[in-house]
A and B are shown apart, each in its own frame.
Chain A
Amino acid sequence: MADLSSAEREFPFKRTQPWNPPPEYREGHETPGLLPVRMWNGTPAWLATRMKDVRQILAGHEFSAQPARPGYPLISASLGSLLVNEEPTLVSMDGADHIRYRRMLAPLFTLNRINRLRPRIEQIVNDLVDQLLAQGPPIDFYEDFTLVIPSLVISELLGVPYEDHAFFQKAARDRMDLSSGPQVPIEAGIRVAGYLTQLIERRTREGVDEDDDLLARLIKDQIIPGKLTVAEAAAMVRLLLIAGHETTANAMAYGMLLLLASPEQMSELRADPGLIPTAVEEILRFTTVGHVNSTRVAVTDVDVDAQHVQPGEGVLAMVAGANRDPSVFTNPDRFDVRRTPNEHVAFAYGIHSCIGQPLARLELNVFFEIVPERIPSLRLSVPLETLTYREDQRAYGPAHMPVTW
């Protein structure tokens, strides 16, 4: 039986093919127990890539999401400084603390409430397509198009002025960069928190109508009754603002790239728009843009598959591995817009599974309903093989995507 002191291989692993997770993940599928690995700072951790193990770790109370606990595996120096030094938000809380905050946000992200945004999101995507068609090619499909959509949507949903989007996009990128030094994401966080604190204080003074937007509801339901401080609210809104940017934008661009590379599947989708929801689930599974999610530390003795994990030992429950588990998905490395069932964990699993998933799903569905139909000749303007990918960012996808039509 392996033990953690034998861990030599350094995580994260490099991909050998841009569309497939590192080959070590397949080794994890095939090897009983968990693989011992070592983080950038020497901390050892167990790597889990099977669906059943990833689900067990993320659903269980045997594991903590608190990065300040000894043994917690930090993916990078930049992410480490962020998680350890900042006031914790719900993503780094356990149990009752977590549920208190999660329940404040849950009513703001119900399926009904999010689905009511559909006409507005359709309008946003259509307006952007109009602009691009008027402007003409070439464009960078990511920077000039897909990044703009979630940025507009999340700004409106939260009630943050879109005029400030350049500021947020820059801050979001700084926060998501795994390769930067420890100060870059911290400073970006301070800038955004300062901005949001002022915005919340101003809107509280001016008075809010509950139906305005998410910020208005938080002010009315949580801040004014004294259930949430302005600083806590600013940290929470910052989390939503940043989480809502690059993840969805990457899934859109990367998903479109997969369809452009499989013209027969693109044709099927155009011929039968009823396939779009199924295709979106496959895009979520296949791309798994949260490619270094999710990390935990054991708080009690627990067995995962054939491996005994001790309290204080870190685990890497890699959803990108689970989503390619051959015991769950037939031909897991094949992109198939007709794949059903498709019980993936692209939004993770357990109490920390993505709160914005109804919004991300809606945005992706609207995007793939409108764009292939309105820009039917869309294609890459460089050879597919020359594209590079965001391996050093927390959200994975093509780094640049020059397109024409």
Chain B
Amino acid sequence: MSSEGVRSVHVTIDLTKCIGAGACVRAADRVFGQDDDTGLAYLLDEQVDVLRASEDETSGNVVLDGGGHTHVEEAARACPTRAIEIETTTAPSGQAGD
């Protein structure tokens, strides 16, 4: 966990670029889903697209709360059409969210 504070990650998917390859779901299945009717990607909870995160010290990847397979930066790199944008901001501890 970084001592600088809480890192927030804002994730957006450009659906005009998405081809439904599912690479984001493979990389971060707690952040991205894939619509079975269209094949296109979506954020799992559209109400919460600002996500609290910490930095994985070994990989340098941003890992969302809950850890595991939630590597959003890896998802952005894996997306074959570069449809995922992530913006990371760092807020002082205790001021981001609850």
Q: Does B88 sit within 8 A of A, measured CB to CB?
A: no
Which residues in window 81-97 of B have CB below 8 A to A?
81-82
User: Is B39 located at the chain interface by the 8 A CB criterion?
Assistant: yes
A106 beta carbon closer than 8 Å to chain B: yes
Residue of A108, A112, A355 touching B21 (CB-CB under 8 A): A355
Q: Is A102 an interface residue (CB 8 A)?
A: yes
Q: Say if the beta carbon of A81 comes within 8 Å of chain B.
A: no
| Chain A nearest CB, measured from B65 CB (Å) | 22
Q: B residues touching A (Cβ–Cβ < 8 Å)?
A: 19-22, 25-26, 34-40, 59, 74, 77-78, 80-82
How far apart are A305's CB and chain B's nearest CB, in angstroms? 19
A-B contact pairs, 17 of them (CB 8 A): A59-B80, A102-B19, A102-B20, A103-B38, A105-B39, A106-B20, A107-B20, A107-B35, A108-B39, A109-B20, A110-B36, A113-B36, A343-B77, A349-B80, A350-B80, A351-B19, A353-B80
Of all chain B residues, the one with the shortest Cβ separation from A353 is B80
Most buried by A among B34, B35, B77: B34
Which residue from chain A places its CB closest to the CB of B82 in the assembled complex? A59
Check A59–B20 contact: CB distance below 8 A.
no
Interface residues of A in 37-85 (CB under 8 A from B): 58-59
CA distance A106 to B39 in the complex (A): 5
Whose C-beta in chain B lies nearest to the C-beta of A361? B26
A357→B21 contact, CB < 8 A: yes
- Whether the Cβ atoms of B80 and A109 lie closer than 8 Å is no
> How far is B36's CA from A351's CA once the two chains are assembled, in angstroms?
19
Of the candidates A103, A113, A341, A353, which one forms a contact with B74 in the assembled complex, judged by CB atoms under 8 Å apart? A341
Nearest chain A residue, comparing its CB with the CB of B39: A106
Assuming the contacts A99-B19, A106-B39, asked whether A350 and B77 have C-beta atoms less than 8 A apart, the reply is no
By the criterion CB–CB under 8 Å, are B36 and A107 in contact? yes
A372 CB within 8 Å of chain B = no
| Chain A residues proximal to chain B, CB less than 8 Å | 58-59, 99, 102-103, 105-113, 341, 343, 348-351, 353, 355, 357-358
C-alpha spacing A109/B20, complex, angstroms = 8
Interface of B is mostly: loop
Chain B residues positioned under 8 Å from A109 (CB to CB): 20, 22, 39
When chains A and B are docked, how far (Å) is the Cα of A113 from the Cα of B34? 10
Instruction: Evaluate contact between B39 and A107: CB separation under 8 angstroms.
Output: yes
Contact pick for A351, options B37, B77, B78, B80, CB 8 Å: B80
Give CA–CA (A113, B37) in the complex, Å. 10
Do most interface residues of chain A lie in helix, strand or loop, or is the interface mixed?
helix
Minimal Cβ-Cβ distance residue in B for A348: B80
Contacts of B82 in A (CB 8 A): 59
Once the chains bind, are B81 and A110 in contact (CB under 8 Å)? no
With A111-B26, A351-B19 as known contacts, state yes or no: A106 contacts B40, CB within 8 Å.
yes
B38 to chain A: which residues have CB within 8 Å? 103, 106-107
Kindly state the separation between the CA atoms of A59 and B82 in the bound complex, as whole angstroms.
8
Q: Which residue of B lies closest to A59 (CB)?
A: B82
Contacts of A353 in B (CB 8 A): 19, 21, 80
Q: Hey, which chain A residues are within 8 Å of B80, CB to CB?
A: 58-59, 348-351, 353
B residues within 8 A CB of A106? Answer: 19-20, 38-40
> Which residues of the partner chain B approach A349 to less than 8 Å between Cβ atoms?
80
Shortest distance from the beta carbon of B69 to any chain A beta carbon, whole Å: 11
Complex Cα gap A105–B82 (Å): 20
- Chain A residues lying within 8 Å of B40, measured Cβ to Cβ, are 103, 106
Whole-angstrom CA separation of A351 from B16 in the bound complex: 12
Complex: A108 Cα to B35 Cα, angstroms: 11
A contact residues around B36 at 8 Å (CB) = 107, 110, 112-113
- A103:B20 contact, CB within 8 angstroms: yes
What distance in Å separates the Cβ of B85 from its nearest Cβ neighbour in chain A?
A: 14
Q: Shortest beta-carbon distance, B61 to chain A, in Å?
A: 9
Give every chain A residue within 8 A of B59 (Cβ-Cβ). Answer: 341
- Which B residues lie within 8 Å of A111 (CB)? 22, 25-26, 34
Q: Report how far A351 CA is from B40 CA in the complex, Å.
A: 13
Given A102-B19, A106-B20, A341-B74, verify A351-B39 contact (CB < 8 Å). no
Chain A residues near B37 (CB, 8 Å)? 107
Residues of B within 8 A of A341 (CB): 59, 74
Write out the residue numbers on chain B whose beta carbons fall within 8 Å of the beta carbon of A59. 80-82
* Alpha-carbon gap, A108 to B21, bound state (A): 11
Which residues on B sit within 8 Å (CB–CB) of A358? 22
Which 8 interchain pairs have the tightest Cβ spacing? Answer: A106-B39, A106-B20, A353-B80, A107-B39, A111-B22, A110-B34, A349-B80, A102-B19
Q: Which residues does chain B contribute within 8 Å of A113, judged by CB atoms?
A: 36
Contact B34 A112 (CB under 8 A): yes
A58 to B82, CA, bound (A): 11
